[in-house]
């Protein structure tokens, strides 16, 4: 973060400009059970950091000091916090700090403190800046980085920029890897936030018809992506989330979308399609809950549609054989 962080930079105790500060060493037992073997750089930087925190000094040199302490231990929350306080106190450029910290993400993309630091800085700046681009760079290296996805959700909510671009971004990652559960999860978040206003003040204004329309569209989207990979758990989770697990106007959504969903799944079903059978179990169980007639949903057998319970038993019997890891679970559902 500064010249002080270079490998050949002298220790703080060797610098004339720090002669006025008395370092505070970490308290240690005389005979510790396990002694921590700190490097000289780590011990030196943190001894001086404790000293400036005790005195309350906030200056350019303290900004350099926190940079070295963070280099030694990027997870040091206290160093990050004091760095933010120093930036505010001396009026240092927030934009410059964001650019500087962005470089650290290439080395520590799953460091919570870095993401939190960026969140705090963006809040002070009151602008998203180029944050979505910064996040995209991180996700290019690891498209399932939880911290990056959580931060992206925060950014688009904080600055109210949940729009079509975010749907397109999620879909571009799904097209690259249809099994990217993180991208499917983000797509669901975008759809619910943008189209159904979930989590916003306008949520109560969304009509039943709109709920049914949006959920039906997303059920169709998940089924379309199952054609190339019927065993893709992510698409099945997305299907069940929109068709069965959502709570608003559940019966109306189910009545509209379930017949087509079951018909599509039955076309994909074969002896070894574990996730297709699993989704059918969930849908048939939901049909029983909603007190649907057996004729409301297609059946795999010929003749009169069987009761949903019989269909579930048949599917669970097959699942207990082809999904041995969860065999006892399927026996439980069957029973």
What is the C-alpha separation between 323 and 332, in angstroms, rounded? 14
**Annotated catalytic, 110?**
yes
Tokens 């059970």 locate to: 33
Tell me the residue length of the chain: 335
In this structure, is the dihedral angle defined by the CA atoms of residues 212, 218, 224 and 229, taken in order, positive or negative?
A: negative
Cβ atoms of residues 65 and 38 within 8 Å: no
- CA distances from residue 110 to 76, 81, 119, 150, 151 in whole angstroms, order as listed: 14, 18, 14, 11, 11
The DSSP annotation for 30-47 comes to SS-SS-----HHHHHHHH
- The active-site residue out of 110, 124, 208, 321 is 110
- The two three-digit tokens of residue 20, written as one number: 């006025």
Helix (H/G/I), strand (E/B), else coil: 300: coil
Please enumerate, as own/partner, the contacts of 82-87 that have beta carbons within 8 Å and a separation of 24 or more.
82/49, 82/52, 82/53, 83/117, 84/117, 84/120, 84/121, 85/58, 86/58, 86/59, 86/62, 87/63, 87/121
How far apart are alpha carbons 140 and 159 in whole angstroms? 23
Nearest to 206 by CA among 245, 165, 253: 253
Quick one: CA torsion of 169, 171, 177, 180, rounded to 10 degrees? 80
4 — phi, psi (to 5°)? -65, -15
Question: So which residues are the catalytic ones?
Answer: 110
């Amino acid at each position: 973060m500064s010249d002080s962080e270079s490998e050949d930079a002298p220790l703080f105790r060797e610098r004339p400009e720090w002669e006025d500060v008395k370092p505070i060493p970490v308290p240690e037992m005389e005979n510790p059970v396990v002694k921590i073997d700190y490097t000289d750089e780590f011990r030196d930087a943190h001894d001086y950091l404790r000293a400036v925190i005790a005195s309350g000094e906030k200056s350019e040199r303290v900004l350099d000091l926190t940079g070295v302490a963070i280099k030694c231990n990027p997870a040091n929350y206290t160093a990050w916090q004091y760095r933010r306080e120093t930036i505010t106190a001396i009026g240092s450029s927030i934009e410059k700090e964001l650019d500087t910290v962005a470089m650290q993400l290439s080395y520590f993309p799953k460091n919570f403190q870095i993401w939190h630091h960026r969140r705090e800085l963006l809040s002070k700046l009151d602008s998203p800046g180029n944050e979505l681009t910064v996040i995209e760079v991180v996700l290019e290296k690891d498209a399932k980085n939880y911290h990056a996805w959580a931060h992206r959700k925060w950014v688009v909510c904080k600055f109210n920029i949940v729009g079509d671009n975010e749907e397109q971004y999620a879909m571009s990652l799904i097209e690259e890897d249809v099994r990217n559960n993180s991208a499917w999860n983000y797509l669901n978040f975008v759809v619910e936030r943008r189209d159904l206003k979930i989590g916003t003040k306008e949520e109560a204004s969304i009509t039943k018809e709109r709920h049914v329309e949006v959920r039906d569209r997303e059920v169709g989207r998940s089924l379309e992506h199952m054609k190339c990979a019927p065993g893709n758990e992510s698409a099945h989770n997305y299907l069940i989330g929109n068709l069965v697990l959502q709570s608003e106007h559940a019966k109306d959504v189910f009545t509209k979308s379930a017949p087509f969903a079951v018909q599509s799944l039955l076309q994909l079903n074969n002896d070894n399609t574990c996730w297709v059978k699993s989704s059918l179990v969930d849908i048939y169980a939901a049909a029983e809950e909603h007190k649907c007639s057996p004729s409301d949903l297609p059946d795999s057998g010929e003749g009169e549609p069987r009761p949903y319970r019989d269909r579930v038993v048949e599917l669970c019997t097959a699942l207990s054989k082809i999904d041995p890891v969860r065999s006892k679970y399927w026996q439980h559902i069957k029973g």
